[in-house]
Amino acid sequence: MLTKMNKKTKRSIFCWLALSPIICVIVFPFAVMFFTSVKPRQEVFSFPPTWLPSQFVWQNYIDMWQATKFSDALINSLYVSFSATFITLLVAIPAAYALARYHFAAKSSYRLFLLITQMLSPIVLVIGLFRLIVWLGLIDSVNSLVLIYAGFNIAFAIWMLQNYFHTIPKDLEESAWMEGASFLQGLTKVFLPMAIPAIAVTAMFTFINSWNEFVLALTVLRTEENYTLPIQVYSLVGGRYTIEWHHVMAAALVASLPAAILFSWLQKKLVTGLSSGAVK
Amino acid sequence: MNRNLPLYLILPSLLLALFVISYPLYELINLSLSDVNRFGKVRGYIGLENFTYIFEDPLFIDAALRTVVWTVAVVGGTILFSIPIAVILNTEFHGRGIARTILMLPWAISLPMTAIVWRWSLNGEFGMLNASLMNVGLIDSPIVWLAQSATAFPVQIGLGILVSIPFTITIFLGGLSSIPLDLYEAAKMDGANAWQQFKRITYPLLRPFINMAIVLNVIYVFNSFPIIWVLTQGGPNNETDILVTYLYKQAFSFGHIGQASAVSIAMFTVLLIFTIFYARMVMKNEK
Amino acid sequence: MKYLSTSLKSIATGVSLAVLGTTLSLSAQAAEEVRFTVAYYSAKTGPYYEALAEKFEQSNPDIDIKIEVVNWDVLNQKLTTDISSDVNADMAIIGTRWLVDYVKEDVAEPLDGLISKDLKERFVPAFLNPGTLNGKVYGLPVAASARAMYYNKDLMQKAGANVPTTWDELADSAAKISKIDKSYGFGLQGKEVETDVYFYYGMWSEGGSLLKKDGSSNLASSASVANAKRLQSMIDNGLTQPGVTSYNREDVQNLFKQGRVGMMITAPFLVNQIKEEAPELNYGIAPIPSGASSATYGVTDSIVLFKNSKHKKAAVKFMDFMFTTEQRAAFSSGEGFLPVLKSVSKLPEFAQNDAVKTFVNLLPQARFAPTIAGWSEVADITSNAVQAIYGGADAQSTLAKAEKRVNRVLGK
């Protein structure tokens, strides 16, 4: 027993040592964000620079929150990300189910189509996308972002979901149908509950992608009250005569928190969700 | 059972994807073949003139070559780092959950914000990177990282690798967890050491996941914009320009909508060829 | 086909609306809405224009002014994409150097017939000129500035250096200041907007010019090459801050505010920033060093009215209100720009202000960006060549190559 414990402890030390360089690089920007965000304004440009501030100015966060209208941007980002995720799942789940369960003529061409959409990124299409949004009359509207984020996330969502759906035994919903359940009942009562981990992981991917998207939001949104978080933070840096670095860092840190929490919470499920990816 | 049922099931996703992607693509093809002014007004059809213009532009050629370097370096580096990290994270050790969460963190900050924070950290005078490196004794005097492409571009590649690692190790961890443990037991019985186990079991079984990670990362990295834009905007002297930053400048700084659309189409074609080529190769190997 | 496309559109819109569960406000506005895109100058810009609009609406209840504040680095992009899709605002602030593109493509409305003669005569002529093309007024100057040399008095004194009047003296003073620990003699901008301009100062003072008489680029002139070599040697001798190509204007200004840079060339608005952020800084303002000739760079931003606006009369009415003494005085002192109205420049706040006087006195020798289509691309090519030179490339051949590229853009 004791030797076994020792072995694991030894291994742990080795593992942490091996990971330490990359962990340093990962933690570094967070440390920069944190320590810059609590510095008094005049210390931000002190030379030579130091990590620790002379005093921790938590007030910076309150000032930043007001000066940057952070709550508006937060609400916009939440609205866009949740709506885009919802729509993506709404259309991707049935499609993934069809691809995982049925053989049909258009199947391989549909897969190809999805692969092509996967290859395109908003930056490459930005000129055309802008015209589409104008045509819809949705310029400066966060709803245009919802629609487009959903469209761009479909391919990946379907691909993830169908890989996972493959691993759910077919007999389960089939036996439900044999027992007289309707098609929908079989799906919602038997199949979907089994698929919840995969759906959660897919949802998270879509959410993160929407949460972090930059180029389109920059092109489409016009007025500050419609800005999403990345745009709001970027606007504190781009084309300004003075940059309030302590506010920028505070905003960036707070903006990263929701996604970071989501990750630590779903980290285990994420791996199992993707692990089925090899099944072709 | 209704024969058309699968079609009904895929229909909503097809419509949405078509709507969001096909129309813009159609517009881009049109624009790339037209004489367009900076306000997007089409003056007429000019055939392939936009394409010949960009192919004759030395800056475009440089950016294209640099994009190849950028993509190969970032994707290669990502894969190279991610395999050992994933193997470590797949072994059981104290605090593994924490380690996994930390390694996911770069994913949680959006790319422009990561780039903004690094731009500040890389500042020659006030940045914490120089201060830290000098504290540790790795350098004697501050380096102005972004002042010349010789240091700026490698830094950008490093950042590209850093932000691609979380997604990649997630894929690899999924792959590793699907490898049956008794294979290793059997190998150990045969007296295989850790490296041999990796070479004979882990690597071959991880292969499909590596392929997948390469394809997806190539697509992401090839199209990646914020890191280079926020750090250097392709400068100094266009020496860190890649195709997307070239495209962005043509379209939005200089108002060459037609040429920019041609760049878009060229990029799309390259990706298409890559994907088809790669899909073929992988399929052949698997046979 | 047309029918199909419209019905598709209505279906698409309907579906997306239903799915998103939103309500578009299609209700007709009671008041006439005039949309105004405003460039971000500082944190004060938005509130200033909001207050201005509110004051205007009080006396004009039938007009509703909607202010949209946009950052400079995306302003031109947003305006052009908006115009390309016919969703642009009625009026906007633009960099006057972009105006020629707007006029050439026929999106800017000439203002002569719309504005009163009185309004036109309120402006300082030097600032109204850049917005006048082919004899017609297209842009009314809304912000004006020139460039002058800021110097740190304490550093000068400590180093025993004099305020330079020529570039040789500048190098001399810079050398002395650079000997002080943690200090750099001359702050040289090497990145982003106006990198090319920072190069022109020295080129102009050597007697160089942007264009030859035939309108082709004069970037590889002997004056330009001499200037490039001088700046190169200053960099090599450590008279500037290290890594100049990673410094944009704001970065150099930051160093100056920290008291780390002896001299730099920039705009009047730095005065306001220093007042707020580094009130202790002991500095002075002097003309840009001269040589064969002396010159500064003049910049104006203009308000333009777009051709497709359906509210031109209301928009012009608002302009008329905006360009009155009281409103403009508040803007100029708030943002730190030079007065564009004659009446404002006579106010004691400006007429007796030394900093403002220094800048205003430079105006007769101010050169503005030439009104040439595609100037932003020319500026970009020049900035890149300048960066290469600062990085150590051969001045003569780099400038010659850039000159060729510029001529390709200019069609010469």
What pLDDT shows up at residue C393?
94
What does the pLDDT look like over B149-188, one tens digit per residue? 999 999 999 999 999 999 899 889 888 887 888 888 888 8
CB contact under 8 A, A30 and B244: no
pLDDT band of residue C5 (cuts 50, 70, 90) is very low
Inter-chain CB pairs, A–B, below 8 Å:
278
pLDDT at A258 exceeding the cut of 90: no
pLDDT at B278 exceeding the cut of 80: no
Q: What angle do CA C354, C359, C363 make, to 5 degrees?
A: 140
Looking at beta carbons, which pairs linking A258-261 to residues 24 or more positions away fall under 8 Å?
Answer: A258/A78, A258/A211, A259/A208, A259/A211, A259/A212, A259/B107, A259/B108, A259/B109, A260/B105, A260/B108, A260/B109
Calpha distance B92→A7 (Å, rounded): 11
pLDDT at B282 exceeding the cut of 70: no
CB contact under 8 A, B254 and C374: yes
Partners of residue A31 in chain B, C-beta under 8 Å: 128
Hey, what are B205's tokens?
């079984």
CB contact under 8 A, C85 and A130: yes
What pLDDT shows up at residue A45?
84
Nearest CA in chain C to A145: C20
pLDDT at C9 exceeding the cut of 80: no
Calpha distance C375→C179 (Å, rounded): 39
Work out the average pLDDT over C366-385: 91
- CB proximity A128 to B under 8 Å: yes
- CB proximity C394 to A under 8 Å: no
Domains located in chain A, CATH noted:
68-278 (1.10.3720.10)
Q: Lowest-confidence range among A62-76, A209-223, C156-170, C298-312?
A: A209-223
What pLDDT shows up at residue C28?
44
pLDDT band of residue B280 (cuts 50, 70, 90) is confident
pLDDT band of residue B286 (cuts 50, 70, 90) is low
Work out the average pLDDT over B187-206: 89
Nearest CA in chain B to C401: B58
Look at chain C and count its residues: 412
Partners of residue A212 in chain B, C-beta under 8 Å: 109-111
pLDDT band of residue B284 (cuts 50, 70, 90) is low
Hey, what are A164's tokens?
């996972």
Partners of residue B20 in chain C, C-beta under 8 Å: none
- CB proximity B24 to C under 8 Å: no
Hey, what are C399's tokens?
């400038």
What pLDDT shows up at residue C4?
44
Calpha distance B180→C410 (Å, rounded): 67
Partners of residue C43 in chain A, C-beta under 8 Å: 67
Chain B neighbours among A 165-184 (CB < 8 Å)? Answer: none
Contact B253, B234 (CB under 8 A): no
Work out the average pLDDT over C88-95: 95
> Which ipTM value was assigned to this complex?
0.88
- CB proximity C25 to A under 8 Å: no
Contact B232, B156 (CB under 8 A): yes
Q: Domain residues of chain C, as ranges?
A: 30-145+299-367, 147-297+370-410
pLDDT at C189 exceeding the cut of 90: yes
What pLDDT shows up at residue C256?
95
CB contact under 8 A, C391 and B237: yes
Nearest CA in chain C to B248: C77
Element (H, E) at B109: none
Partners of residue C377 in chain B, C-beta under 8 Å: 253-254
What does the pLDDT look like over C41-72, one tens digit per residue? 888 898 999 999 999 999 999 999 999 888 88
Percent of chain B with pLDDT over 90: 50
What pLDDT shows up at residue A268?
67
Using CA atoms of B99, A278, A86, B113 in order, give the dihedral in degrees to the nearest 10.
Answer: 40
CATH fold of C30-145+299-367 reads: D-Maltodextrin-Binding Protein; domain 2 (3.40.190)
CATH fold of C147-297+370-410 reads: D-Maltodextrin-Binding Protein; domain 2 (3.40.190)
> Domain B58-286 is classified in which CATH homologous superfamily?
MetI-like (1.10.3720.10)
Mean pLDDT taken over chain B: 90
Calpha distance B6→C149 (Å, rounded): 72
What pLDDT shows up at residue B1?
54
What strand order describes the sheet that includes C148-152?
Answer: C184-186, C261-266, C148-152, C283-286
What pLDDT shows up at residue C19?
47
What does the pLDDT look like over C267-312, one tens digit per residue? 999 998 899 888 999 999 999 999 888 889 999 999 999 999 999 9
What does the pLDDT look like over C135-156, one tens digit per residue? 999 999 999 999 999 999 999 9
Calpha distance B108→B270 (Å, rounded): 30
Partners of residue A110 in chain B, C-beta under 8 Å: 10, 14
CB contact under 8 A, C245 and B37: no
Hey, what are A22's tokens?
């990359």
Which residue would you say has higher pLDDT here, A254 or B41? A254
Hey, what are A267's tokens?
């980290």
What pLDDT shows up at residue B140?
87
Hey, what are A177's tokens?
């149908």
Nearest CA in chain B to A134: B24
Q: Lowest-confidence range among A37-51, B51-65, B230-244?
A: A37-51
